[in-house]
Amino acid sequence: MKDGRSALARFELAVDAIVAGDAPTLEKLLRDEPTLVRARSTRHHHSTLLHYLGANGVEGYRQRTPKNAVQIAGILLNSGAEIDAVADMYGGGCTTLGLVATSIHPKVAGVLHELIDVLLSHGACVDAPGSGHATALVNGCLANGRDDAADYLAHRGAPLDLEGAAGVGRLDLVKSFFDSDGSLKKTATMAQMKDGFSWACEYGHTDVVECLLDRGIDAGELLPRPHGQTGLHWAAHCGHVDTVKALLRRRAPVDARDRRFDGTPLDWALHGWRERKTDAATNDSYHDVVAVLVAAGSRVEPGWLSDEKVRGNPRMFAALSGKRRVS
């Protein structure tokens, strides 16, 4: 970097311009050295410049998305960037589209859909894995908490297997993977069914959850991904009271402990409530979730009632102490 004429220095300067949204500097660098657009980082991920728009799997300090990311994408693509070039983070095979879709930063910057659109308009492949670990795009989004990107990619034509269909709430398509007797067709696997059930619980697709329970999923099973939790853990963590009630009707164990954190669904509900500080609508639903779990017999740890945040929220204190009526 001390030698501004070196290829490495010019590449790093271009990356800095991308993450800063500095279009004039990026255009000058590419104009002075057109081959830069297809160069690769010497770091372990071997990204091209375009990959840095994903703000995902690269250097931590560069994981940010500028407000003019769509303009930056256009500059790179119009300069000859390879749209489906793959980088080596997350097990390899990562495309820019896959990185963008599974990253939180484009969403926070308010450019997620526009950025996906510009990549697709330049020919980005929506049919192939691109988010690492040979995972389908929609499924990769679901596993990374990016349900908005999963829904949008499905809307834009990304293929859906049973896992993906369940995760985005496509009940009609979920049913198509089963024979009339409720058994799986050869086009689906039990692993897809279990992962799809996890995501349906996480994202509150209650009708899909009930459908998969009817077709053999055990409401109390500790699911393999991602933390060895039950469906009730996910529904509680994300504040989906209708899904919680549906699972309890199917005798989901109220005090089951996940394999990774050794937490109960009520633990997860309280953790989710604390995480969602700015989402008032979702936060309101947690009072109902906690009240339902407590009424169903979930163990309340004494320390929870003395927690400063709980005591400072009369509705949560009432729910946790069993004093709130459950509808």
Determine contact, residues 231/202, Cβ cutoff 8 Å.
Answer: no
Determine contact, residues 161/190, Cβ cutoff 8 Å.
Answer: no
pLDDT band at 128 (very low <50, low <70, confident <90, very high): confident
Flag whether 167 is in a domain.
no
For 20-56, the pLDDT digits (tens) are: 999 999 999 999 999 999 999 999 999 999 999 999 9
For residue 281, pLDDT over 60 is answered with no
pLDDT computed for residue 299 by the predictor: 96
Place of tokens 């896959």: 98
Q: Which amino acid, residue 102?
A: T
- Give which of 54, 168, 55 is closest to 119, Cα–Cα: 54
Flag whether 100 is in a domain.
yes
Rounded to whole angstroms, the Cα distance separating 113 from 149 reads: 8
pLDDT computed for residue 301 by the predictor: 93
Peptide bond into 226 cis (omega under 30): yes
157-170: b (≥16 Cβ within 10 Å) or e: ebebbbbbbbbbbb
Flag whether 7 is in a domain.
yes
Q: What are phi and psi of 304, to 5 degrees?
A: -65, -40
For 147-158, the pLDDT digits (tens) are: 999 999 999 999
**Token pair for 3:** 């030698």
Flag whether 64 is in a domain.
yes
Rounded to whole angstroms, the Cα distance separating 174 from 146 reads: 20
Flag whether 280 is in a domain.
no
In this prediction, residues 264-280 reach a mean pLDDT of 85
Determine contact, residues 82/50, Cβ cutoff 8 Å.
Answer: yes
**Token pair for 41:** 């980082």
**Token pair for 303:** 């320390």
**Token pair for 145:** 């908490």
For residue 233, pLDDT over 70 is answered with yes
Domain assignment of residue 61, given as a range: 1-159
Q: How far is CA 197 from CA 133, 168, 186, in A?
A: 20, 11, 18
Flag whether 37 is in a domain.
yes
Flag whether 313 is in a domain.
no
For residue 280, pLDDT over 60 is answered with no
Number of compact structural domains in the chain: 1
112-148: b (≥16 Cβ within 10 Å) or e: bbebbbbbbebebbbebbbbbeebbbbbbbbbbebbe
CATH number for the domain harbouring residue 15: 1.25.40.20
Reduced to 3 states (helix: H, G, I; strand: E, B; else coil), residue 327 is coil
For residue 186, pLDDT over 90 is answered with yes
